[in-house]
Amino acid sequence: MNDFVAPTIDWAAVSPVLVVLGAGVLGVLLEAFVPARARRTTQITLTLAALVASLVAVGLLWERVSEGAVSVVGGSYLLTPFGLGIQAVIAISALLGVLVIADRTTTGQDSFAPAAAAVPGTTYEDEARRAGLQQTEIYPLLLFSTGGMLLFPATDDLIVMFVALEVLSLPLYVLCATARRRRLLSQEAAFKYFVLGAFASALFVFGVALVYGFAGTVRLQGVVQVLADPGTSPLGTMRGLVVVGLLLVLSGLLFKIGAAPFHTWTPDVYQGAPTPITGFMAACTKTAAVGALVRVLFTLAHGLDADTRHDVQVALWVVAILTMVIGSVVGAVQTDVKRLLAYSSIAHAGFVLVGVVGLDEVGSSAVVFYLLAYGLATIGAFAVVTLVRERTVSSDDRAGALGDTTDDGVVLGEATALAQWAGLGRRAPWLTAAFSLFLLSMAGIPLTAGFIAKFGVFSAAVEAGAWPLALLGVLGSAVSVFFYVRIIVFMVLTPPSDDEPGAVVEAAEDAGSVTGPAGGAPALTGTATRAVVARTVVTVVGSRGPAAVAIALCAVGVLLLGILPAGALDLAGQAAQFRP
């Protein structure tokens, strides 16, 4: 009777996602079968190989997809040139992000807890640390997350998009909780991210249910058809369903992008998560979510009537303006480097949305380039943060010996208080130069990638008739230039504050006090808190290679995209087309 007909699947088109997810599964198996001492090397090799393979697959598909979108299983997986462009950006960012994650620095410790499940401050935790355990599970988790991100913007099916959203989010919740130091903050970040993320996912999926109710299908193309011809669906005349559904879906996506008013989780999570994970998350998640937003919004806008489309654009205007203002203004008063970069990423979400409001191809090409420029600068900046550390003051340590990484003091967690970054230029000129370059790119100074990127999104907005928004964007950029340059001046011109050890004690205690939990007692160990450390100074640890390579690549990329953007702009132009 009903013979099962196997679907024909175009495996080549799915390969960028498949390679990464397959390597993730393989990574889980490796956890079980590879001996402990070889595990880390194997996992890192596998992860990097998978991401490179994914990038190569994207490159091989480029020619074919630019001739026409490739649809697999009726649109469940839909590779438009835009989707492929976003996948390329995600693969590049993830590759750089993994390099930073893999670095153990000259201290020989990576940023992850030896046993993430151990309660902070227990003997079990101490023993795990002494035994030199490592949590190599983070690499398969990263691959699963990256796989979800690659799938997120490359589907026409809202339920596949929902599954991709969860596949990218769930590993990230876990990764957020794995920091080696300041573990209570890390766990708290995971908790906040999880609760708010699950809430946003629920909004998203309820929106999908309403869209399904309207159209009888969750394929975006199908929804557009019903919008054009309401008679084809029993509820096709109830346009309210699709408008409310679209708004709920957009809320879910804007949450992942970190746009106001859904941005409140961003600073907390970015601060608490292990710094290399923060860089990975900031660049890749935002890229994937913007890709999905463009996919949903641009496709549906095609089917909406002029009035509704205008309403959606007004809503986007409001969100973009709010996001830029909050990111720039609140960011200007931050005293913690990671929080500051978090607010800067919120502001960037606003700038990207400026490019989106036109709902046309000029905007989608500008968005691809912007995300690449933003990803490079962000991963580079967070990579620098991982190398600036605190160190306990040893008995014979005098002000003159500061910055000498071979000293006998114990290197602790990252020195994230901005005050500790004063005079970094004297300790580590190259690192400071790279960090300054990333900040200048984020500010949008000419000859950096950020300038070309901002120029692209603003001119796309002007072309779409949204010049007030572009004007506000330029003003917002000007405000953010102020706070980026303030940090650079601070790093280069201000003398190091810990020439006077007393000043540092205060900074350390200030940071230490926030690590103690309400109950107080369990936090008092070396890994859980810095509160036991009476005196610390700032030091710069060396990279063991990968992070240095990542920083160098990011810096070269930022400069290259800024000085010779033609090639990348060409590619972004080819990746503009978002419709099949």
Partner 1 sequence: MELTNYLGLAAVLFAVGAATVLLRRNAIVVFMGVELMLNATNLAFVTFARIHGDVTGQVLAFFVMVVAAAEVVVGLAIIVMIFRARRSASVDDVNLLQS
Examine residue 54 and tell whether it contacts partner 1 (CB under 8 A).
no
177 binds partner 1 per the rule CB under 8 A:
yes
Residue 80 vs 201, nearer CB to partner 1? 201
Question: Binding partner 1 by CB under 8 A: which of 110, 156, 188, 407?
Answer: 188
| Helix 337-356 and helix 275-303, axial crossing angle in degrees, nearest 10 | 20
For partner 1, which residue of 47, 136, 233, 497 counts as binding (CB under 8 A)?
Answer: 233
By CB under 8 A, tell whether 234 contacts partner 1: yes
Q: Report the site for partner 1 in 303-362 (rule: CB under 8 A).
A: 334-336, 339
Smallest gap from Cβ 272 to partner 1, in A, equals: 6
Question: Going by C-beta distance under 8 Å and a sequence separation of 6 or more, which residues neighbour residue 331?
Answer: 340, 343, 344, 346, 347, 480, 483
Q: How many CB atoms lie within 10 A of CB 275?
A: 26
- The reply on whether position 163 binds partner 1 by CB under 8 A is yes
Out of 82, 152, 162, 351, point to the residue binding partner 1 (CB under 8 A).
162
Taking only Cα atoms into account, the Rg of the chain, rounded to an integer number of angstroms, comes to 24
Nearer to partner 1, 73 or 447 (CB): 73
Between 96 and 248, whose beta carbon lies closer to partner 1? 248
- Which is nearest to 186 in space by CA: 313, 103, 277, 106? 277
Show Cβ contacts of residue 434 under 8 Å, excluding neighbours closer than 6 positions.
Answer: 380, 384, 551, 552, 554, 555
Which of 85/331 has CB closer to partner 1? 331
Rule CB under 8 A: choose which of 82, 194, 351, 484 binds partner 1.
194
199 near partner 1, judged by CB under 8 A: yes
Strands (E), 365-509: 388-392, 411-414
Size of the site for partner 1 (CB under 8 A): 54
Is 137:157 a contact under the CB 8 Å cutoff? Answer: no
9 versus 119: smaller Cβ distance to partner 1: 119
Sole residue written with tokens 């697959």 = 57
How far is the C-alpha of 541 from the C-alpha of 411, rounded, in Å?
A: 8
Residue 4 token pair: 């099962």
Q: Under a CB-based contact definition with an 8 Å cutoff, are residues 139 and 47 in contact?
A: yes
Whether the link from the prior residue into 496 is cis, omega within 30° of 0, is: no
The verdict on 166 binding partner 1 (CB under 8 A) reads yes
Q: Does residue 210 bind partner 1 (CB under 8 A)?
A: yes
29, 38, 60, 119: which one contacts partner 1 (CB under 8 A)?
A: 119
- According to the binding rule CB under 8 A, does residue 195 interact with partner 1? yes
Burial 41-71 (b: 16+ CB within 10 A, else e): ebbbebbbebbebbbebbeebbeebbeebbb
Interface positions, 132-161, toward partner 1 (CB under 8 A)? 159
Three-class SS of 148-217: HHHHCCCCCEHHHHHHHHHHHHHHHHHHHCCECCCHHHHHHHHHHHHHHHHHHHHHHHHHHHHHHHHHCC
174 binding partner 1? (CB under 8 A): yes
Q: Pick out residues in 503-532 that bind partner 1 (CB under 8 A).
A: 514-515, 517-519, 522
Nearer CB in complex with partner 1: 221/448: 221
Name the residues that contact partner 1, by CB under 8 A: 117, 119-120, 159, 162-163, 166, 170, 173-174, 177, 183-185, 187-192, 194-195, 198-199, 201-203, 205-206, 208-210, 212-213, 216-218, 233-235, 267-268, 271-272, 334-336, 339, 514-515, 517-519, 522
